[in-house]
Structure 1
Amino acid sequence: MQHSVLTFKNRQHGVDFFKVSVDDKSLVICNKCSKQVPRGGKSSTSFNTSNLISHLKHSHRFDGVLKAYEDARAAKDASNLKPAAKKPPGLTHIGEAFEKSKKFARNDPRAKAIEDLIMEMMALDDQPFTLVEDRGFSRLINHLEPRFTLPSRRYFSDVCLPAKYDAIARCIHTLIDNNVKDMSFTMDIWTCDVSPVSMMSLTAQWLNTDFQLYRAVLQTQELPGSHTGTMIHQTLEMVHVVLRDNARNMEKAMKECGVANLGCMAHSLQLAVNEAVLSQRAVSDCVAIGRKIVGHFRQSQVASSALRKLQERLQVPQTRFQQDIATRWNSTFYMLKSLVAQKQAIAAYAVEHHLPATLNAHQWTLVENMLTILDPCEQLTRNISKATATAADVIPSTQALTRLLKQTVPTDHGVKTSKDTLLKAVQSRFGHVEEEPLYYLATILDPRYKDRYFTLASKSNQATDMLREKLLENDGATAGTPQPEEPPEKRSREDGNNSLLGMFEAILEENTEAAIHQENGRVDAELQSYLSEPTLHLSRCPLEYWRSNQSRFECMAQLARKYLSAPCTSVDSERLFSAAGHVMTEERNRLACEKAEMLLFIKKNLPLIHQQVEG
């Protein structure tokens, strides 16, 4: 039996170079020339391939056998080679590896960028400066960027905070200086609950040349001492229009400053509802009982669980009761509304369990009828508290609310006196709005309202005349050629006349035909063309209208940019101080007022800066 010498077999081509001798295993026979070649010894332990290779080199150098062997050998050697180890990307030499482990210098741009982002996070998310000392945060930063050395909290509070404040202030100044001519301001005063600090805010609102609305916090300043009108006056500088609340110290300050100012519509409505409705003895008794009921379920987990079981059994929505806040009448409205929604479940609970107080049948009816009176007021509060609400909404809203309160409906039973008192309070607090130029000019420049929502024709003519005077003051700008306007939208009356929206539509229908056919030679072609066109639907945005039509009504667009920039409430300032409550907490009650001002300034203005950068 013959055996191939596998070491000399070209497996790719199937060629055997030698075979073992049958008679003597210490010899192999060349398959080419049949010559016997010693294997290097007598025992298998001494066998080698040196003699076989020498035989091929001397005897078969030129006949192709040697080349075949060398090719087979090279292929085998290549297959036995181990693949070279891949080097980590970027580590091409020791110098680069060392660079990767080297800490950033304090002034390194990469380190500055990380510090800047940490500072922004502290301001936006109300994080304390001690965050950088927390073990978890330190481990996270070290994992994300081992080369960054986390500075101390003092460094962030004393270096990074002022630097970020100055950078944002420069951006705000640049934004305002960029062709902003007319701005509206809101202001408010806030007192901290956890430290003896009072602050006054000044926020600005304006429209750019493309009718985009901007808001920025210009200042949040400490207001030490008594909040008298004189003290507030000394704080204000270079302000010409201010929207304020109705506190007497604010009114006095505005008079001493000699600046144009308006009261907050939401605050005026709050006072009207409180003095006309919630102060009524029967209503206040119902509210007090409602607070006890809500407090019982909110403070007792056992009572809440029992109520949920009753809700499941009665198949009523499992909603939570809302606790009211004494200074917010609409929160009382929401509390009473949540109680009425759970009336059946509360009655069933009172039969099986103890309640600290209950409403009788007459009181339940009183609450339900009272909600129908307050519902339009709640709708109005939501509308004027929107970010898009302007001074133009005041006259149409108050007229719609007044006419709605004058209507007689079946739900007036038992609450007619409260309704009449609320009507008088609304007329008393808002009766002057049609005499205020800022209000009636903003109204007539709003394409949703124009001159359709004034109570008398004389009021409408007064607004039109004043607008014409303003147009003439703008150097007698000529009107553009009137272009075909899109067809008037179909106005939905599905809400009927029992809602605030339905009353808006009713007023508009009464005054539209007369306004369109009225010809007044005292107004120029531009004004007449604008007023004769159909109004926009209430759901449309007036700023989009002016953005598209400012080339047609160039002079009027300039006035619209001025008067439609004014808000109708001081909600922006109140929201600012809601944020202040998160900045100055029990854990941060030693935070210096100056640093709290900077944090608030950054928190409220940074999104605007980001919007500008991304835009």
Structure 2
Amino acid sequence: MFERLLEQRWAVCAVLSDRNVIKLADARTLDLKDEHWEIVEELKPVLKSLKCATTAMCSETHVSSSVVYLITHSLITRHLNTQMSESPRVLEFKNAVAESLNQRIVAVTEDAEKVYLPLTAAALDPRHKHLKFLETELRERVKENLKQLCETIPKPVRPIQSKPDSATALDTLFGEDYGISDVSPHDTEIESYFREPCISLNQDPLLWWKVNESRFARLSTLAQWYLAVPATSVPAERVFSTAGLTSHSALIGARRPTDLFE
């Protein structure tokens, strides 16, 4: 809105100054002072970053649960970071928004008794699994919680391989269970997952999990559970809004109440 207003500033001023179009009393009420235009121009870059954050967390077609704390951390540490050259109005606005975000995120990240869903979702997102936005202690706690969650996932059933007709000499000497590792399968799976580099931010994490499902069987199951959770209620509210508009249009177009059922 601010971008569009600044773009059309002189057109707006021209209309407000034309007495053939608008009355003087109305023009005085609607006209913006120079200081107001300055505020609009100064706040536009800050609002743009907040708009990007809102768009990402309200997405209906992309994973959103894994970016909640990542986006919040990025806003606080980068986009809302104050500069001495900025005007007092911008400083005041940034500080107010940053303080509000901090109040909501500190209680969650410092809760030693619980690892909240968005943190687990971030660990299961191959774009953000490095968890750089977390302190080392919390990062390890999230990974440990992931291991515990893997314990609750049943071991994937693998197809039974047919045995050869005759055992080799080595099979006879070492036994059939020689190749079975003592390391827990889910521990190996988690360690392998975190050792691999993160994928690009432009890649689809769901597509990555589809391709690597067989490699990380337990983790892929957890990814389906956690990455499917929407970050906000906006998508659901959009459905209700669409349904309301559809019903309203049907009522307007109906000539008689019975027309709605025909």
**TM-score range with shorter-chain normalisation?**
0.7 to 0.9
Residue 455 of structure 1 and its aligned partner are, at CA, apart by 2.7
Please tell me whether the aligned partners of residues 433 and 439 of structure 1 are also in contact (alpha carbons under 8 angstroms): no
CA contact (8 A) 1:390 1:567 kept: yes
Q: Distance in 2 between matches of 1:427 and 1:589?
A: 54
> Which residue, out of 423, 430, 437, partners 2:116?
437
Question: Any conservation in 1 of the 2:76–2:101 contact (CA below 8 Å)?
Answer: yes
How far apart, in 1, do the equivalents of 2:52 and 2:83 lie?
19
For residue 437 of structure 1, report the CA deviation from its aligned partner. Answer: 2.6
Q: 1:409–1:540: structure 2 CA closer, same or farther, 3 Å change rule?
A: farther
Q: 1:566 Cα deviation (Å)? A: 0.7
What residue in structure 1 maps to residue 8 of structure 2?
Answer: 342
Of the three residues 33, 38, 60, the one matched with 1:365 is: 38
How far apart, CA to CA, are the structure 2 residues paired with 1:407 and 1:464?
Answer: 33
**1:374 and 1:414 mapped to 2: Cα distance?**
13
Kindly provide the amino acid, as one letter, of the partner of residue 538 in structure 1.
Answer: L
For 1:271-420, list aligned pairs within 5 A: 334=1, 336-353=2-19, 354=24, 355=27, 356-387=29-60, 388-403=62-77, 404-408=79-83, 410-420=85-95
Amino acid at match of 1:428: Q
Q: Is the 8 A contact 1:394 1:433 kept in 2?
A: no
Could you report, residue by residue, the CA deviation over 1:563-606 in whole angstroms, capped at 9, with x for unpaired residues? 111111112221111122223325369979xx99xxxxxxxxxx
Q: Which has the higher contact order (CA 8 A, sep 6+)?
A: 2
CA contact 2:123–2:130 (8 Å) conserved in 1: yes
Decide whether aligned partners of structure 1 residues 465 and 477 sit closer, same or farther in structure 2, where only a CA change above 3 A counts. Answer: farther
Cα distance change on mapping 1:477 and 1:451 into 2, 3 Å = farther
Superimposed CA distance per residue, residues 421-455 of structure 1 (whole angstroms, 9 cap, x where no aligned partner): 11111112333444543111111000010032433
CA displacement at 1:367 relative to structure 2: 1.5
> 1:426 is matched by which residue type in structure 2?
L
> Hey, what's the Cα distance between the residues in 2 that align with 1:467 and 1:357?
56
Deviations 1:381-403 (A, max 9, x none): 11122221331111111111111
Task: Tell me which moved more, 468-477 or 443-452.
Answer: 468-477
Aligned-CA RMSD value: 2.8
The answer on whether the counterparts of 1:584 and 1:591 sit within 8 Å (CA) in structure 2 is no
Q: Give the counterpart letter for 1:465 in structure 2.
A: E
| Equivalent-residue separation in structure 1 for 2:93 and 2:191 (angstroms) | 43
Q: Distance in 2 between matches of 1:383 and 1:471?
A: 28
CA contact (8 A) 1:471 1:477 kept: no
Distance in 2, Cα, partners of 1:367 & 1:579: 32
TM-score, with structure 1 as normaliser: 0.33
Deviating beyond 4 angstroms after TM superposition, the runs of 4 or more aligned structure 1 residues are: 475-478, 588-592
Aligned to 1:454: 133
Q: How many residues align?
A: 216
Indicate conservation of the 8 Å contact 2:128/2:198, yes or no.
yes
Distance in 2 of aligned mates of 1:577 and 1:543? 27
Deviation at residue 358 of structure 1 after TM alignment: 1.4
Q: CA deviation at 1:525?
A: 2.2
Query: How far off its partner does 1:352 sit?
Result: 3.9
What is residue 232 of structure 2 aligned with on the other side?
569
> Pairwise mapping of residues 148-167 of structure 1 onto structure 2 (< 5 A)?
none
Fraction of identical pairs, as percent: 26
CA 1:545–1:432: 2 relative to 1, 3 Å: farther
How many Å separate the matches in 2 of 1:432 and 1:568?
18
Structure 1 residues 23-54: Cα deviation after superposition (integer angstroms, max 9, x where no partner)? xxxxxxxxxxxxxxxxxxxxxxxxxxxxxxxx
Scaled by the length of structure 2, the TM-score of the pair is: 0.73
- Correspondence for 2:196 among 499, 515, 533: 533
Q: Which residue of 1 aligns with 2:247?
A: 584
Letter in 1 for 2:144: D
**Residues 590/564 of structure 1: CA separation in 2 closer, same or farther (3 Å cut):** farther
For 2:195 and 2:4, how far apart are their aligned partners in 1? 46
1:485 corresponds to which residue?
none
- CA displacement at 1:530 relative to structure 2: 1.1
| Equivalent residue number for residue 106 of structure 1 | none
Query: Secondary structure, in 3 states, of the residue corresponding to 1:540?
Result: coil
CA distance in 1, matches of 2:256, 2:67: 42
**Paired amino acid for 2:31:** T
Tell me how far 1:348 sits from its aligned partner: 3.5
CA pair 344-411 structure 1, distance change in 2 beyond 3 A? farther
Q: CA deviation at 1:409?
A: 6.5
Do structure 1's residue 427 and structure 2's residue 102 form an aligned pair? yes
Answer whether contact 2:63 2:228 (CA < 8 A) is retained.
Answer: no
Unaligned 5+ segments in structure 2 are: 158-185
Separation in 2 of the partners of 1:369 and 1:340? 11
Larger radius of gyration: 1
Q: Given that residues 442 and 563 in structure 1 are in contact (C-alpha distance below 8 angstroms), is that contact kept between their aligned partners in structure 2? A: yes
- For residues 510-565 of structure 1, the C-alpha deviation after alignment (integer angstroms, 9 at most, x for no partner) is xxxxxxxxxxxxx8222121112111111110001001111111111111111111
Contact 2:126 2:198 in 1 (8 A): yes
How many Å separate the matches in 2 of 1:342 and 1:362?
17
Structure 1: runs of 5+ lacking an equivalent: 1-333, 479-522, 597-615
Once the two structures are superposed, residues 458-504 of structure 1 have per-residue CA deviations (whole angstroms, 9 ceiling, x without a partner) of: 111110000011112225679xxxxxxxxxxxxxxxxxxxxxxxxxx
In the TM superposition, what whole-angstrom CA distance separates every residue of 1:288-310 from its partner, at most 9, and x where no partner exists?
xxxxxxxxxxxxxxxxxxxxxxx
Cα–Cα, structure 1 residues 535 and 591, in superposed 2: closer, same or farther, change >3 Å? farther
Are the equivalent residues in 1 in contact too, given 2:121–2:223 (CA < 8 A)? yes
- Displacement of 1:419 after TM fit? 1.4
